[in-house]
Amino acid sequence: MSMIKIEHLSFAYPYSFENVFDDLNLILDTDWKTGLIGRNGKGKTTLLKLLLEEYYYSGKIIKNVKCAYFPYPINDEASNTLMLLQSLCPHCEEWEFRRELAALKLSEEVLERSFDTLSGGEKTKIQLAALFLNEHYFLLIDEPTNHLDSEGRVVLAAYLRSKKGFLLVSHDRHFLDLCIDRVISLNRNNMTITSGNFSSWWNEFQMQQEYEASKSAQLKKEIKQLKQSAQKTAVWADRIEATKFQNGPVDRGFIGHKAAKMMKRSKAAAARQQRSVEQKEALLQNQEETQALKLKPLAYHAKTIAALHEVVLQYDDRFITSPLSFTIEQGDRIILNGKNGSGKSTLLKLLNKEAVSYHGELLMNQSLKISYVPQDCSFLSGSLSAFIHLHHMDESLFKAILRKLDFSRQQFEQDMSRYSDGQKKKVLIAKSLCEQAHLYLWDEPLNYIDIYTRMQLEELLKSFNGTMVLVEHDQYFQKAVGTKVIQL
C-alpha cells in the first residue's frame, strides 16, 4: 500500500482565465480501484497529467510510487506485437504475455501480427496488459472503453477487477459498476471520495442532491423574508426620522437615539444573515442541474423510412456482414449491436448516402433529410462562429444548446482544438439537435461524454418522436432509449 497526497494544489492552463483546480486537497490509496468521474472540462485528464508531473502547478503532490498513463504513444506501430511487448516489458517471459492475453480473451495469434493491424479494442487490451505487467507502477487509465464493444467492456472490467489498484477515468456506468470500489467525484464546487461502485455513489449523490434542493427552497424562503423585514425596517426608520422634528428636544433626542440603536441592530442582523446566505449559496452551487433538451424531427409522408433486403456490406473486397433485412419505421430508435469490425459504422455510412460497397437492396428516398453524428470528432478546430457559418445554423439556438450541455460562455471564444474530446463530441451533438431531419444517425455519440450529459440525452430520446439509428455500447443507454436492436 502507498499513499498519494495532494496538498493545496492550484492549476490553470496558460490560455485560460479560470483555474481548473483551486486549493485541491486529496489523499489517494494506490490499492483502491478508483473511478474518477465528473463533467467534461472539470479536469479529470488534467489531474492524471498532474500526477505524471507533466504540468507546472502550485501546491504539493507527495508520492513514493511511479505513475504510468494509458493511452500512451507507440513509437513503431508496424512492429510485431510480441516484440513490442518484449520491448515494453523486458523482464517478462513469453508465458506471462500469453497469460494476460487469455485473461483479456485475446487470441494468441495477435502476438504474431504487426501492431498496426490490430483493431482499436485489441490495441487497448495489449497496452493495458503491458502496463500491468510492469509492476511497481500505479496506473492512470484514461477512458479505455472508447474502442471496445459491449462484450469487450465486460471482459476488460473483469480484468481490471482482478488487479491491485488504479485510477480510472470512465463515463460508462455499467463498466464502472463492474470494476471499481471507490469513486472520486469532481463536482461543481468541490471534490468527494466515496466507497463503493458507481451505483452506490449515484444513490448517495442523488440523496445529497435532494437534500440540497430542499435547502435551496428553504434558503429562497429565508432570503424573501429577510428582504421583506429589511424593507419594513427601512420604512419604519424613515417615519421615526420624520416625526423627530414634531417633538420636544428631549423626546427628539431620545427617539433619535432609540431609532439609531435599533437601525444599528437591524443592520448587524442583516449582515449576519447575508453572510449565512452566502455560505449556503456556496454549498448549493454543487447541485448538478441539467436542462431539458429538445429535438424537432421532420414528419415523413410514409410509415416506412427505409428498408434493407439481403444487404451484405463490403469493405476492402471482403464481405463484413451476413445478409441484413430490416425496415426503419417512423418513431424507431434502432440500436445497431455487434462486435468491433462487424460493420455497424459502415451501415450508418450507407444509410447516410455515402459511397459504401454492398450487395442486396436498399430502398430509401433520396430526398430524405438526414442528420449524422460521426464517431470521430478529432477534426474539429477553428472558431465556433466559423463552424456555425459553415453549417448554416441558427447561432442563438446552437449556443443555447451548448449552454444546456454545460458549456460556459468563455468557451464560445476558444478555438475548438483546445476543447476536450467530450466537449468536441458535444459540439457535434448540438449541431444534430439544431437540424430538422427525417432520420438521425448517431455513431457512438457517448464517446468521451460525461455521465450527466448521458442521462440528459437519455431523457431527450425517451420522449423523442422522431426516427433514429445509432451505434452505442453503453448498456444503460441502450436499455433506456432503444426500441429495436439489430444484431450484426
Reduced to 3 states, what is the DSSP secondary structure of residue 140?
A: strand
Average pLDDT over residues 13-30: 89
pLDDT at 17: 75
Average pLDDT over residues 141-168: 94
Ramachandran area for residue 437 (φ above 0: left; ψ -120 to 50: alpha; else beta): beta
pLDDT at 481: 93
Which of 156, 164, 172 lies closest to 106 in space, CA to CA?
A: 156
Question: DSSP for 371-414?
Answer: EEE-S--TT--S-HHHHHHHTT--HHHHHHHHHHTT--GGGGGS
State the Cα angle at 72 between 106 and 88, rounded to 5°. Answer: 65
**Choices 2.60.40.420, 3.40.228.10, 3.40.50.300, 3.10.580.10: CATH for 304-487:** 3.40.50.300
How confident is residue 85, by pLDDT bands cut at 50, 70 and 90? very high
- Which position has the grid cell 509492476? 135
pLDDT at 347: 94
Report which of residues 255 and 104 the model is more confident about: 104
Q: Mind listing the pLDDT tens digit for each residue in 163-189?
A: 989 999 999 999 999 999 999 999 878
Whether residue 50 is predicted with pLDDT greater than 90 in this model: the reply is: yes
Q: What share of the chain is helix, strand, coil (3-state, %, to 5)?
A: 45, 20, 35
Residues sharing a CB contact under 8 Å with residue 221, sequence separation 6 or more, in sequence order? none
State the Cα angle at 145 between 141 and 148, rounded to 5°. Answer: 140
Provide the residue ranges of all domains of the chain, joining segments of one domain with +. 3-187, 205-284, 304-487
Whether residue 135 is predicted with pLDDT greater than 50 in this model: the reply is: yes
C-alpha cell at 427: 459540439
How confident is residue 275, by pLDDT bands cut at 50, 70 and 90? low
Q: Which CATH class is domain 3-187?
A: alpha beta
Angle separating helix axes 150-161 and 120-133, nearest 10 degrees = 0
Q: Mind listing the pLDDT tens digit for each residue in 279-318?
A: 555 555 556 666 788 888 998 889 999 999 999 998 877 8
Average pLDDT over residues 405-426: 91
How far apart, in whole angstroms, are the C-alpha atoms of residue 298 and residue 305?
Answer: 12
Rounded mean pLDDT of the chain?
87
Q: Mind listing the pLDDT tens digit for each residue in 460-473?
A: 998 888 899 999 99
Average pLDDT over residues 330-359: 91
Q: Which of 1-5, 19-23, 55-59, 214-218 has the lowest mean pLDDT?
A: 214-218
Do 304-487 and 3-187 fall under one CATH topology?
Answer: yes
State the Cα angle at 197 between 172 and 448, rounded to 5°. Answer: 20
Which of 388, 453, 382 lies closest to 418 in space, CA to CA?
A: 382
Rounded to 5 degrees, φ, ψ at 439 are -140, 130
Bridge pairing between strands 3-11 and 21-29: antiparallel
pLDDT at 250: 47
Average pLDDT over residues 225-229: 70
Percent of the chain with pLDDT over 90: 64
Reduced to 3 states, what is the DSSP secondary structure of residue 289?
A: coil
Average pLDDT over residues 252-262: 58
